[in-house]
Structure formats: C-alpha cells, structure tokens
C-alpha cells in the first residue's frame, strides 16, 4: 500500500509529524498539483483548521497568510493551519465541467480535494482526517458551511465570514454569474448547471441548514456601512465593499431565520463594517476559542 493509502487506512503517519513552522506543500489532485500553505501545530497535535479564500483567490498564496494575522493568532496553538492556494471563482465545489467561457482545461473538483485528496495527503504527517475545522471568507464562507454539513465525519466546526449563504434565492444566481465573469471569465452554468439544478440546492447553506444541526457554528457579516476597520481612503473600494456586504447581510439574515425556525443553535454576529479582510481577521479572532474548544486542543 502506498504512503497515502496507508495513512488513509488509519495507519500511523509515514513521515515525521512536524512541530510548528510554516511550509508550502505541493499536493496531488485530479486538478493537477495544488499548492497548500501550512503552519504546523505548535506541539505536533493532529487537529487542523482549513481556511478558504474569497472569489479573487490568488494563484500563488492564500490571502489569509498575507492579508490577516491568522498565522500569528494560532502560532502557539496545537492546531495545524491549512491554506489551500488557488481556486478563484470556484466556490470550492465540484464543478460539472470546465468553464466554457475562459478555455479552462481541467474541471474544478474542490470538494473532492478538500475532503478526500488533501486530508489523505496530510494524514501522512499525522494530521487527523476526523478532527478538523473549516472557515471561509466571502466565496469561502458558504463553502465552509456546506462542506462541513456534507462531511460531518471530517469537520467539527464551521465558520462563515461575509459568506453568500443563500445562492438559490431568486435572481442571486445572476449576481454570481456577473461576479464570476468579472473574476476570470468563469461560467456559473458549468459549475452547478442552470438555476434550479439540484447542485444549487446542495450547495446552499440555508437550504442545507439541517445538516449543520449539532455542529458548532460561527457566522459573521458586516452591515454594509463603513466601520472602524475601513480605510479612510480608497473610496471606490469602500463603495464596492459596502454593496457586497449589503448582499451578504441579507443572505446571513435569511440563514439566521432558517436556523432559528429549525431550532439549530449557532453564533451569528452582525458588525459595523464592509466586505474587506480586516473584518475577516477580526472574525477569525472571535472564532478562535470556539475552534480550539471544538477540536479539544486546549
């Protein structure tokens, strides 16, 4: 049995378990090699936190490592931080086919990567496949909740920061279409098919709320109004961030109404602010003690 296969079968790690430090890995996948940035658990523990980027995910690094202090926040914690790199406009989901509007040659298969290929690879280093947490910002927010809901055997905590949590709401598929065309000329129809296809409902955190019952959840969004962390300059960026956050606010309120009606507990914070990284850094700091509790890493 190969090293990955042995780890997947629950055998002991085949590589020394790293203790602390930062590393960049090249992980095999059906999409080709995927770069994954990792900060290893401070004392060699097995728990892991996956952090997902937003729509404009860069090809060479995770914005969590450059636009927030995530590495510092967890530097002394016994939890491995896992930052998948790339996947812009992917919504971290398994697509039906390659995007037909930008000559994409491979089909995005991010759910497969994050729940099968990457955990199997990290298991070589002693990282648990069954004691993980997942959070995401913007595009990654809905994905974090959906992935956790469908893979409860892997994820023990989920967090969404300014996530678009109700993509099946009427006409919101068109907002996603416009955003994805703007960011890389990706075609939403090649992701989940036309609006109404079952893939849309499967990937809608509000529709799938029942799958989250019993899971520790933290959801945050801004109110769309400039707050204390918005820059006093860059007015154009602030206006765009206000409009985006107004949409995530509405989606978060609909998600909140759904889980309240269903009797599903979750912490949901609505703060003064816009769709920008300083607020997601703040949300991660709020979520940190909940994550450590859920993964029993104290």
Percent of the chain predicted with pLDDT > 90: 78
Beta strand residue intervals within the chain, DSSP E: 22-27, 34-39, 48-52, 80-84, 132-137, 155-161, 217-222, 267-271
Q: Identify the three-state secondary structure at position 269.
A: strand
pTM of the model: 0.93
Q: Residues 267-296, buried b or exposed e (16+ Cβ, 10 A)? A: ebeebebbbbbbbbbbbbebbbebbbebbe
pLDDT (tens digit per residue) in 2-23: 334 434 444 567 788 789 999 9
Residue 214 phi, psi dihedral angles, 5° rounding: 85, -5
Report the C-alpha gap between 269 and 228 in whole angstroms. Answer: 16
Report the C-alpha gap between 200 and 210 in whole angstroms. Answer: 16
pLDDT (tens digit per residue) in 92-109: 999 999 999 999 999 999
pLDDT (tens digit per residue) in 150-159: 999 999 999 9
Residue 242 phi, psi dihedral angles, 5° rounding: -65, -45
3-294 in CATH: which number? 3.40.50.1820
In the structure, what pLDDT confidence band is assigned to residue 238 with cuts at 50, 70 and 90?
low
| Residue 166 near residue 254 (C-beta atoms within 8 A) | yes
pLDDT above 80: residue 233: no
Q: Which residues are catalytic?
A: 138, 245, 275
Which candidate, 25, 225, 43, 190, places its Cα nearest to that of 117? 25
Burial class (CB in 10 A: 0-12, 13-18, 19+), 55: buried
Mean pLDDT of 169-187: 90
- What tokens were used for 172? 């919101």
Mean pLDDT of 273-277: 86
Percent of the chain predicted with pLDDT > 70: 91
Q: How high is the pLDDT of residue 23?
A: 96
Which candidate, 61, 3, 51, places its Cα nearest to that of 28? 3
- Measured at the CA of 74, the angle between CA 69 and CA 80, to 5 degrees, comes to 115
């Amino acid at each position: 049995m190969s090293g990955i296969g042995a780890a997947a079968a629950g055998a002991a790690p085949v590589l020394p378990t790293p203790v602390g430090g930062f590393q960049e890995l090249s992980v095999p996948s059906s999409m080709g090699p995927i770069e994954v940035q990792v900060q290893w658990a401070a004392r060699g523990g097995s728990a892991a936190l996956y952090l997902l980027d937003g729509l404009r995910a860069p090809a060479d690094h995770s914005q969590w490592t450059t636009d927030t202090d995530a590495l510092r926040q967890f530097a002394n914690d016994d939890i491995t931080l896992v930052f998948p790199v790339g996947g812009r406009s992917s919504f971290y989901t398994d697509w039906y086919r390659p995007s037909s509007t930008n000559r994409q040659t491979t089909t995005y298969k991010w759910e497969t990567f994050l729940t099968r290929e990457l955990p199997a690879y990290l298991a070589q280093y002693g990282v648990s496949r069954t004691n993980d947490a997942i959070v995401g910002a913007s595009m990654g927010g809905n994905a974090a909740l959906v992935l956790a809901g469908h893979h409860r055997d892997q994820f023990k905590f989920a967090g969404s920061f300014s996530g678009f949590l109700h993509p099946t709401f009427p006409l919101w598929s068109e907002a996603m279409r416009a955003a994805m065309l703007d960011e890389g000329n990706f075609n939403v129809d090649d992701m989940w098919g036309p609006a109404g296809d079952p893939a849309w409902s499967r990937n809608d955190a509000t529709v799938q709320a029942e799958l989250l019952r019993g899971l520790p959840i933290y959801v945050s969004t801004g109110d769309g109004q400039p707050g204390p962390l918005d820059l006093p300059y860059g007015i154009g960026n602030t206006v765009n961030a206000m409009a985006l956050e107004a949409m995530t606010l509405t989606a978060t309120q609909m998600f909140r109404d759904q889980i309240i009606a269903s009797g599903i507990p979750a912490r949901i914070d609505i703060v003064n602010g816009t769709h920008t990284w300083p607020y997601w850094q703040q949300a991660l700091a709020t979520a940190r003690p909940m994550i450590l509790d859920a993964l029993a890493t104290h």
